[in-house]
Amino acid sequence: MAVAINPYLEVSDEVLGAQREGKPVVALESTIISHGMPYPQNVETALRVEEIIRQSGAVPATIAIIKGKLKAGLTKEEIEYLGKKGTDVIKASRRDIPVLLAKGEDGATTVTTTMMIADMANIKVFATGGIGGVHRGAQTTMDISADLEELAQTGVIVVCAGAKSILDLSLTLEYLETHGVTVIGYGTKELPAFYTRKSGFAVDYRLDTPKEIAQAFDVKLKLGLRGGMLVTNPIPEEYSMDPAVINSAIDRAISEAEKSGIKGKETTPFLLAKVKELTGGDSLESNIKLVYNNAELAAKIAYELCKLQQSCNGN
């Protein structure tokens, strides 16, 4: 069951119950279900991420657009529905929401739209794999992910494994700095590069505990400062890929994309699929493990933030 907060937003009974009882909640995106991997692996992974969040003391709120409704908290049946429909579900960014809702259609939420809907549902912590950013060659293509603009204006903590290494990481950090987004390294001063733990680029601050991260965000909220906070969490050492292997695969994938004329929102799915092919599937396995890792950290941050707001019950 879900409760309609307004004509367009429905929040699950589980999420609303958690909020009423003062329990921490963690938002999850749905693009990874519909566009991230094939069925049934996509559904199994999504349910496993929810399980990890519950085991870490929080309540998961997978977010999507289903039949023209913004959903915060999906049932297993709804996750299965998105998983089976797969890439037939529209990958929905901010610009797509009005039309999808007006037409009663489905949408898989990106980082941007997950942040938006989480904020509407008063969920302040969101776990994902990696954010979008400034694409290589953006000086001429102007291909910059809407994720960065959303981080600049929507008050949600985003826990990720850094920006996807198919991007221009230096320009991505510059863009975030220009828009006043604090970039935190969890236990590291170096920006993780999604598949690998190091990038050669420094983050703004290193914080070593979920409590420190929650405290910084709590201050931001109390000051009324606009925008979110980006927490970059390195992929576990045992799942980190060889930088030479992954960078070679990325360079080849980008070259093929350019030759094929792949542009716009089709770029990232194409590149990730090509990198998966070139690495024999190793990149997908790394992707799954880093999402699990981010979900666990996000749950711990949500609990600490909940405590600071003096409304947290539980462990």
Domain-wise residue ranges, the chain = 1-123, 130-315
What's the pLDDT band for 313 if we cut at 50, 70, 90? low
What's the pLDDT band for 314 if we cut at 50, 70, 90? very low
pLDDT above 90 (res 261):
no
29 is a catalytic site residue = yes
**Is CATH 3.40.1790.10 the classification given to domain 1-123?**
yes
Could you say which of 23, 71, 164, 276 is catalytic? 164
Q: What is residue 312's predicted lDDT score, i.e. its pLDDT?
A: 57
Tell which wins on pLDDT, 79 or 285. Answer: 79
pLDDT above 60 (res 225):
yes
Of 62-76, 77-91, 247-261, least confident by mean pLDDT is 247-261
238 is a catalytic site residue = no
Distance CA(287)–CA(196), nearest Å, equals 10
What's the pLDDT band for 138 if we cut at 50, 70, 90? confident
Taking Cα atoms as reference points, which of 152, 157, 153, 134 lies closest to residue 144? 134
pLDDT above 50 (res 128):
yes
Rounded mean pLDDT of the chain? 92
The percentage of residues in the chain with a pLDDT greater than 70, rounded to a whole number, is 97
Average pLDDT over residues 136-149: 86
**Is CATH 3.40.50.300 the classification given to domain 130-315?**
no
Could you say which of 10, 29, 80, 296 is catalytic? 29
